[in-house]
Amino acid sequence: MMILAGELGTGKSVLMGELFYNILKKRKEPCIYVNFEGPPIAVEQDMEAFGWDLTPFLESGQLRFLDCFSFRMEPTKVPPYAHYVKDPRDLHSVTSALFNMMEEMKMIGRGAVFVDSLTEMFTLVQEDRPLIFNMLDGVKSWRAKGPKEKLVPFFCSHHTPLRAYADLDDLLFYVVDGILDIRFNPGFADRGLLVKQFRVRKMKGAPHETYWVTFSVTSKGVTEIPLPVPVLSTEKPRTTRKK
């Protein structure tokens, strides 16, 4: 279970969208997109803006949406490739629908689930217990049933830093297996320039680099901006002796 965490506008959705599209097209594996932040049509249009056409995958059943947003609009017609959740405030109903879909799509050891976003999901969770425990229980349940039991990775976007969830972030990051930090380079931000970067903070059981990668969002998606990679030296610093 992996989290793509960062401020608003840093590029979380584009990074997740490109990963999502490549799993569909290149690996030809099934995907479920759990949308809390907009209806399925909005996700389709966002993907089309980068030249990523979802139509073939929707028609073949390789891609399905778990629609946790449209309850706000009370839709009269639900597309055949989407499952409409009437009350996503009930996390149990969302969980049940998600894993039923995974069973129907035979997602065991193949495919991936994308959640956009955990932050929005948390705002909907019923507060029958302290909110922080309700949220963490839901994430733990998804991680146990998906990545651990079914061997299907979950990729979830999460907005940080938000004061309402400041206490939650550390606990949430402890629970998950991987964290991709996404930010605006602080040095450039101080000068009014928004330069996007990401790094792997945590990735259990896999070798990984931890330096910041600079990127831009183009009409084709994410493009790396080559910069010198920092090299950690074990040599002692040299000193110059004064004459």
Per-residue pLDDT of 195-205, as tens digits, reads 999 999 999 98
Q: What is the DSSP string of 76-144?
A: S---TTEEE-S-TTSHHHHHHHHHHHHHHTT-SSS-EEEEE-HHHHHHHS--SS-HHHHHHHHHHHHHI
List CB contacts of 121: < 8 A, sequence separation 6 or more: 36, 68, 88, 91, 94, 115, 138
pLDDT at position 11, please? 92
How many Cα neighbours within 13 Å face the side chain of 28? 1
Per-residue pLDDT of 17-53, as tens digits, reads 999 999 999 999 999 999 999 999 999 999 999 999 9
Distance CA 203, CA 193 (A): 30
In CATH terms, 2-224 corresponds, of 3.40.50.300, 3.40.50.1980, 3.40.50.261, 2.60.40.10, to 3.40.50.300
How many Cα neighbours within 13 Å face the side chain of 163? 0
The amino acid that residue 230 corresponds to is P
Give the best-scoring range by mean pLDDT among 100-109, 154-163, 200-209: 100-109
Q: Report the pLDDT averaged over residues 72-79.
A: 84
List CB contacts of 63: < 8 A, sequence separation 6 or more: 24, 30, 31, 32, 33, 54, 57, 81
pLDDT at position 217, please? 93
**The residue to which tokens 């949430």 are assigned:** 172
Q: Which of 22-36, 52-66, 86-100 has the lowest mean pLDDT?
A: 86-100
Distance CA 183, CA 11 (A): 8
Best CA proximity match to 45, nearest among 118, 35, 113: 35
Distance CA 48, CA 27 (A): 20
- pLDDT band for 243, please (50, 70, 90 cuts): very low
Q: Is the pLDDT of residue 232 over 70?
A: no
